[in-house]
Structure 1
Amino acid sequence: MGEIGLNQFAPYLLNRVMARWNVDLQEALKDYDLTTAKMRTLAVLSIAPGLTINELSLFTVIEQSTMSRTLDSLEDQGLIRRRTREDDLRVREVMLTDEGSATFQRFWPTMYGHFSDLFEGIDEDEYQAFVVTLHKLVRNQQKLDQRQDGA
């Protein structure tokens, strides 16, 4: 660590960026009666309706126990509904209600504004290179996970 320093240590920099992102979003979410977990869930369901709790946990990067409580709260707020999957009665899938969709649509401009602020001064080529690099990191992490699971 001493050789490269914190300002050259990518995991440290990623953590700083994400910690600030989460703090800023959490502050903005208060106006919408949402938490970060609720916002992530609404965001994922807005593009991928009908997911299971396991799938939502994976895509939102939220532990399953937290996801279960988040879904209970979202359901109490009338923002999601759960239904039995037609082809497998053992599986319950989660859908946005009209109110859930409307809530996400109201929040999205705020979220996108934070995103735009975060990437200010970064041109499209730099952004695309960054996303490609992040995908490579995710694949490397998945390989590590598979090795650990198989060990």
Structure 2
Amino acid sequence: MLPTVESSSTIPSLGEIGLAHFVPYLLNRISACWNANMQETLKGLDMTTTKMRILAILSVMPGLTINELSVHAITEQSTMSRTLDALEEQNYIRRQARTDDMRVREIYITDEGRSLFARIWPPMYEIYSHLFEGVDETELRALIGTLHKILHNTRKQDL
């Protein structure tokens, strides 16, 4: 376990840890490479990585509200609203009032959105699988388990 400021009079400097061992730095580098590769793949489809994330999320979690979708897609609500407007204009999503509360709008992927995501998924999966070349199943499971623990530690709200 890492020493905390409260439990230790001296904490290591970033130089002592080193960027190669500083997990937030590594996660940001991986994320930036992922996004760059996805942007290249999405160019010809009039898609952005944000639009792709929304379609991906809605393909497995339909009926989210804008707030829920913003959290899952890691996108600010103002950006989410504009992106949803564009996706709705392209007929890839639809918004529907919740039956028990007409003020709440749920967001669903349309058949056209599913069809587009079905075209995006194979190259997306190829990029994903390339990330784990040389990583065996045990390492991958351990990584996923560790990332879930870290995500739990960062959560400010439960969904």
Scaled to the shorter chain, the TM-score interval is over 0.9
Q: For residue 83 of structure 2, what is the aligned residue in structure 1?
A: 70
Residue 24 of structure 1, CA deviation: 0.6
Q: For residue 71 of structure 2, what is the aligned residue in structure 1?
A: 58
Q: For residue 151 of structure 2, what is the aligned residue in structure 1?
A: 138
* Aligned pairs, number: 144
1:57-86 deviation digits (Å, cap 9, x = unpaired): 011111100100010000111101111111
Q: For residue 149 of structure 1, what is the aligned residue in structure 2?
A: none
Residue 139 of structure 1, CA deviation: 1.1
Residue 9 of structure 1, CA deviation: 1.2
Q: Pick from 37, 40, 65: which aligns with 2:50? A: 37
Percentage of pairs with the same residue: 60
TM-score relative to the length of structure 2: 0.88
Higher fraction of helix: 1
Whole-angstrom CA distance in 2 between matches of 1:132 and 1:119: 15
1:74-107 deviation digits (Å, cap 9, x = unpaired): 0111101111111111111111111001000110
Structure 1: which 4+ aligned runs deviate by more than 4 Å? none
Whole-angstrom CA distance in 1 between matches of 2:23 and 2:110: 39
Q: What are structure 1's unaligned runs of at least 5 residues?
A: 147-151
Q: What are structure 2's unaligned runs of at least 5 residues?
A: 1-13
Structure whose CA Rg is larger: 2
TM-score relative to the length of structure 1: 0.92
Q: Pick from 63, 85, 99: which aligns with 1:86? A: 99
Whole-angstrom CA distance in 2 between matches of 1:66 and 1:114: 25
Whole-angstrom CA distance in 1 between matches of 2:102 and 2:15: 56
Give the counterpart letter for 2:28 in structure 1. Answer: N
